[in-house]
A and B are shown apart, each in its own frame.
Chain A
Amino acid sequence: MRGNSDIVLGTRPIRAVALALLLLVVWGGAKGFWEARLAREGTVLRDGGLASLATAPVGKETWSRLGQGAAIGLLGGLRAVVANALWIAIPDAWTDQEWFRVASDIDLVTTLQPRSVSFWNDGSWYLAWNASQRKLENPFERSAARRRLDADFWARRGEALLHRGLEANPGSWELWLQLGQLEDQRLRDPVAAAAAWREAWKIPGSPRYLERFVGYELEKAQQWDEAYAWWKALWLSSPEHTDRARFWDKIALRLRALEDRLQVPDEKRVFPRTNAPQTRAQ
């Protein structure tokens, strides 16, 4: 029988058609379990404990903000391509100093690809440094207090973005490093900077200079006891002090300075005053 101009089926083996449909329906019913398992595994791989942030279903709010082309891209499985295209367009908003548009686009991109560390990292830079600095130097705002408030607003937004990025990527030392820089140089919070760099330092593969950054920040925060404990722990962490990449001379310098400042008794010093170059640890 001819159904319409596009589909044609023969009259002969109607059983074959029924069997084909039965095969598709039975498999259609059974495949759901496999698909659900694949989706579950994919979610865990993508987000670990943070499944809700980045699992595939795209929220209604996100849909409404995407253009038709972007939506088709998502449907076509081109989520990364769409995210990249949106990201590439961000410098236009940045050049026009439309900071809320920049922030909104960053939110959209990071929603689409929460596991892409560079989006969080560079996005926070756009907000906490570029937007914040522009607001601080805003020639149209007479009030210095207002400029300061605006700058602080964008710096905090960049900080919040990094915290969200870290929720999605807890193993990223790059984001902790960036957060430490932001806390230290923009928000002038050395305690928070030390905490962030300490987290970065804990992650395998992070730069070794971070161990010194933590000590410097603790000193900057005038947390002398904590700083001394940190430097001392670093010094005692290795029996050898010959690896030039760890800059033991700088660590020794800070230890000596703090032992003097804290008036550490000789028997507890790493560098006793009586035999200065030799150390107890060695």
Chain B
Amino acid sequence: MKSLFASFRLSLRRIAAIARNTFLEAFRQKVLNLLLLFALVAIGSANLFTGFTFDEQLKFLKDFSFGAMTVFGTLIAVMGTAQTIQGEIESRTLQTLLVRPVGRGEFLLGKFGGIALVLAAAFALMTTVFAGVLVVKERQLVAAEVATVQPGHPTDEATAQRIASIEKQSRDPQLAKALLLTGAKTLFVAAFALLFSTVSTSAIFTVSTTLLVYLVGHLEGIAREAWTAGGGTWLQQAFLGVVSVAIPDFGSYGILDDVLAGTLVPWGHVASLLGYTLVYLLVLFGAARLLFDAREL
């Protein structure tokens, strides 16, 4: 047991080197670049809904953009993590790496850090495109409202109110919270992919298992409620208990929709959700580290 914990000593320099390498390698992969391209196209095309009220147009733009960020961010996280670890194992470069003074924990942390960098870069790019589209949309909508005012006449109260509403919705500071939560959610999924990568022998297995956890995670809240409420057969209770214990509650990130819909979500709640994610990440990393240590390479 002593030797087990002794192997937890980490070198930041080595972790950073692995992370940098993972980051550069990820951007050489066509699949990830293609996913990013799709995401950017999806966000750009969210501006095309024009036959609706300004409220709906802004809502669609924000919802579809963040939807694209969530979907493509998740896919990049899962596929990137699965591929990078499995790739090292299959190409036998991992053995070369581990005979140097690089610990398995450092390797995992470096890989995870690299994927985090990939996600940060992808989100920076997607956010830039989203912000650009949002600015264009705001200008279009405001111009349309201004055009309804007759030249030489002052802007009436209703029009002024609509313009103020457009500007308020476009420049909503809560979008920062939505962005933070979307990023955290994708990182959370990447951590699960990391965990499964440590025991899996194929990238497909890691991808499918992680996506399964992701999907079931959105129903964990319902399972937990039913489990704690009791009732049903012992088999049903056992099933619900396993789901509640083994799966994270991705449904809590549903608050994202409310942030985008304009509900005032306090920073306290966001911090609580991020704290939950952080603790879960540490647990997942700890388990991944232990499992990876147990693995024959």
Residues of A within 8 A of B (CB): 5-17, 19-21, 23-25, 27-29, 31-32, 34-39, 41-42, 45-46, 56-57, 72, 74-81, 83-84, 87-88, 91, 113, 115-118, 121-122, 207-209, 245
Contact = CB atoms under 8 A, between A and B. Distances in A.
B76 to A, nearest CB: 15
B246 interface: yes
Interface string B164-195: 00000000000000000000010000000000
A45 B269 contact: yes
B292 to A, nearest CB: 9
Given A12-B296, A122-B53, A20 B287 contact: yes
A15 B276 CA distance: 27
Nearest to A117: B55
Contact of A207 (B55, B161, B253, B286): B161
Given A8-B200, A36-B228, 19 more contacts: A6-B202, A6-B205, A15-B1, A17-B294, A20-B287, A32-B224, A34-B279, A38-B249, A42-B254, A45-B264, A57-B221, A57-B222, A76-B214, A77-B250, A84-B63, A88-B60, A91-B51, A113-B257, A207-B157
B57 to A, nearest CB: 10
B117 interface: no
Nearest to B250: A77
A113 B263 CA distance: 12
A23 to B, nearest CB: 5
A117 B288 CA distance: 44
A39 B66 CA distance: 21
Contacts of A10: 294-296
A113 B40 CA distance: 26
Contact of B290 (A5, A17, A37, A121): A17
Given A6-B205, A7-B201, A42-B269, A16 B290 contact: yes
Contacts of A78: 67, 70-71
Nearest to A25: B245
B199 interface: yes
- How many of chain B's residues touch chain A, expressed as a range? 35 or more
Contacts of A74: 218
Nearest to B206: A6
Interface string B246-286: 10111111111110111111100100110010011001001
Contacts of A91: 51
B283 A38 contact: no
Contacts of A56: 221-222, 251, 254
A77 B256 contact: yes
B55 A118 contact: yes
A31 B280 contact: yes
Nearest to B89: A8
Contacts of A15: 1, 4
Contacts, number: 187
A34 B278 CA distance: 13
A87 B296 contact: no
Give the residue among A6, A77, A208 with the most B Cβ atoms within 10 A: A77
Nearest to B248: A31
Contacts of B125: none
A265 B266 CA distance: 54
A115 B283 CA distance: 35
Give the residue among A27, A37, A80, A118 with the most B Cβ atoms within 10 A: A80
B291 to A, nearest CB: 5
Contacts of A79: 254, 257
A42 B296 CA distance: 44
Given A6-B201, A20-B287, A39 B249 contact: yes
A19 B67 contact: no
Given A15-B4, A41-B269, A77 B218 contact: yes
A39 B248 CA distance: 12
A113 B261 contact: yes
B269 A81 contact: no
B138 interface: no
B294 A208 contact: no
A25 B241 CA distance: 11
A245 to B, nearest CB: 6
Contact of B63 (A5, A41, A81, A245): A81
A237 to B, nearest CB: 18
B198 to A, nearest CB: 9
Contact of A45 (B60, B249, B265): B265
Contact of A13 (B4, B244, B272, B287): B4
14 contacts: A5-B202, A6-B205, A16-B293, A17-B290, A23-B283, A32-B228, A39-B221, A39-B252, A42-B258, A78-B67, A80-B256, A118-B53, A209-B157, A245-B157
Contacts of A77: 70, 185, 218, 250-251, 253-254, 256
Give the residue among B59, B228, B250 with the most A Cβ atoms within 10 A: B59
Given A7-B199, A80-B261, A16 B252 contact: no
